[in-house]
Amino acid sequence: MKVLLLVLLAMFISFSYAEESEVELENAYELENNNGVDENDNEEEVIEAEDDDNGDDEYDLEEEDDDEDGEYELEDDEDDEERRRRRRHRHFWHYRNWWLRRHWMRNWKRQMRRWRRQQEVKRRRMQRLREMHRRRFARKQRARELRRAMMKRLHVKTMSSYKKRIIAAEKRIANQKQMFKILKNKIIQLIYKLRQTQDAKQKVQLTAELKTVIDKSKEIRKAIVSRAVKQNMILRKLDNAKKVKAAIKKIYKEKMAIANEKRVIKAMNIIDSKINVLKHDHKYNAKKFQRAVAKEIKRTCKHLRITKKVCKKIANKMRSKVKYESKKIVKRYNKKQANLKKNLEKRIEGKMVKQTVKGMAKKFERNYHVMDKYRRVLDVTCRMDPKSCNFFRRSFGDMVPMF
């Protein structure tokens, strides 16, 4: 590390010296140029030279501005590259001496708070899931208890217990087979030794040992056979348990189907009564009526714990009634609208007649030359609408006596 620092320092010093030497050379070159100017030149040449110098200075200034702009842009680019090359954030305990870093306690507390928040969110989510699936779990538990009670009544154990016994038997048989194999090899070795030995005393010992080993192997063989027979019996019991489980499952399914059917019938009756209430609440708006019915169907399904699939079937069954009631509502609405339109037209007509009569009366007050024309209009009106004739005559009578 120290060597690297020394190398960097040496490079920095060499670069600074090089820059200073370049500046000194430029200054010396400028002095030589100034000394080389001829003092005996004409004033005009001097003026021209000054003008040229001014022009050059302006050009140099422009170039400097351009250079500065370029440098500014380059610096921006470098900053962008640095930003892009910036390494990812590392945690405070990533570093070996994290306890010597600033604000490690504050960062640690922040991390602890974050973890606590995450744990709280997870706990809430699990609670929500538990509440959502509580009924399903309870239903499964009830089914399991019912099945076990029936199996107890039929004196049939669970499949898991039989499976455990089979696995234990298999292990025992495997161990005994291994022992039998070892004893078999031992018997072969003892027989070989008996044939090889000539000593009578040793022969007696070997014969006794061989007899005990053979007896032991016979016992193990018997145990293997009995264990295999028992295993076979357990397998048969397992098959019976499987059949019983399937039968119980079938019975339970049938029971559940009957219960579900009852629930569906109950839901349909409730929805039917709700439709009869809602058709009076929404007399003239079919859309509102349909929305209200849909809400009631959903609410009823939720209350009676009916699945979405079955709820859709119920909705399809109730569709014909909803359609029929909606058509009745639409007819009622159209009839009401027609009546309203008719009444409105009558009101507008009456208002217009009153306005025209008032206008005509005012005209007759000021102008008696148009009376003849309006008398003719009145005659035509009386012919077309005899009911309104008296109304017109009465209206005109006050202001126009000759009518």
Q: Any idea what the CATH number is for the domain that residue 173 is in?
A: 1.10.287
pLDDT 10s digits, 72-90 = 444 455 666 666 666 677 7
- Span 380-397, average pLDDT: 69
Residue 301 buriedness (CB in 10 A; 0-12 / 13-18 / 19+): buried
User: Is pLDDT larger for residue 193 or for residue 57?
Assistant: 193
CB burial of 90-117 (b: ≥16 within 10 Å; e: otherwise) equals eebeeeeeeeeeeeeeeeeeeeeeeeee
Residue 170 inside a domain? The answer is yes
- Give the DSSP H or E segment for 392: helix 386-399
User: Please, which pLDDT band fits residue 196 given cuts at 50, 70 and 90?
Assistant: confident
Task: Show which of 118, 151, 184 is a domain's final residue.
Answer: 151
pLDDT score of 142: 82
Using alpha carbons, select from 267, 269, 292 the residue that is nearest to residue 279.
Answer: 292
Q: What is the pLDDT of residue 397?
A: 53
Q: Binning pLDDT at 50, 70 and 90, where does residue 66 land?
A: very low
Give the tens place of pLDDT for each residue, 45-64: 544 444 554 444 444 444 44
Residue 175 in any domain: the answer is yes
pLDDT, average across residues 193-218: 88
Structural domain harbouring 211: 156-254
Convert the pLDDT of each residue in 280-312 to its tens digit. 999 999 999 999 999 999 999 999 888 899 999
CA proximity to 249, closest of 122, 134, 150: 150
Tens digit of each residue's pLDDT (9 = 90 or more) over 123-157: 998 888 788 777 777 878 888 888 888 778 877 77
* Residue 128 within any structural domain of the chain: yes
pLDDT of res. 64: 45
In-domain check, residue 121: yes
Q: Supply the mean pLDDT for the chain.
A: 77
Give the burial class of 186: count Cβ atoms within 10 A of its Cβ; 0-12 exposed, 13-18 middle, 19 or more buried: middle
Which DSSP letter does residue 224 get? H
Burial class from Cβ neighbours inside 10 Å (0-12, 13-18, 19+) for residue 227 reads: middle
Question: Does 177 lie in the same domain as 249?
Answer: yes
- pLDDT greater than 70 at residue 33: no
User: Would 122 be classed as within a structural domain?
Assistant: yes
- Tell me whether residue 206 is in a domain: yes
Q: How many domains does the chain have?
A: 2
Task: Output the CA angle 83-84-87, nearest 5 degrees.
Answer: 85
Among 211, 239, 254, give the residue marking a domain's end. Answer: 254
Q: Determine the average pLDDT of the residues in 377-395.
A: 71
Those residues with Cβ within 8 angstroms of residue 194's Cβ, 6 or more apart along the chain or in another chain: 203, 206, 207, 210
Q: Tell me, yes or no, whether 163 lies in a domain.
A: yes
| pLDDT confidence bin for 110, thresholds 50/70/90 | very high
Helix, strand or coil for residue 91?
coil
Same domain (yes/no): 143, 186: no
pLDDT of residue 202: 87
Last residue of a domain, one of 227, 254, 281: 254
Residue 215 has pLDDT above 80, yes or no: yes
Q: For 243-259, what is the mean pLDDT? A: 85
pLDDT score, position 61: 41
What pLDDT is stored for residue 331 in this prediction?
A: 95
Q: Which residues are within 8 A (CB) of 285 and not within 5 positions of it... i.e. 6 or more apart?
A: 329, 333
Instruction: Give residue 23's pLDDT.
Output: 53
Question: What pTM was computed for the model?
Answer: 0.41
As given in the structure block, the two tokens for residue 169 are: 């038997």
Q: Is residue 219 assigned to a domain?
A: yes
Q: What is the pLDDT of residue 402?
A: 42
Are 268 and 314 a contacting pair, CB within 8 Å?
yes
* Greater model confidence, 165 or 354: 165
147 and 160 together in one domain = no
The pLDDT, as a whole number, for residue 2 is 66
The H or E element that residue 239 is part of is helix 200-281
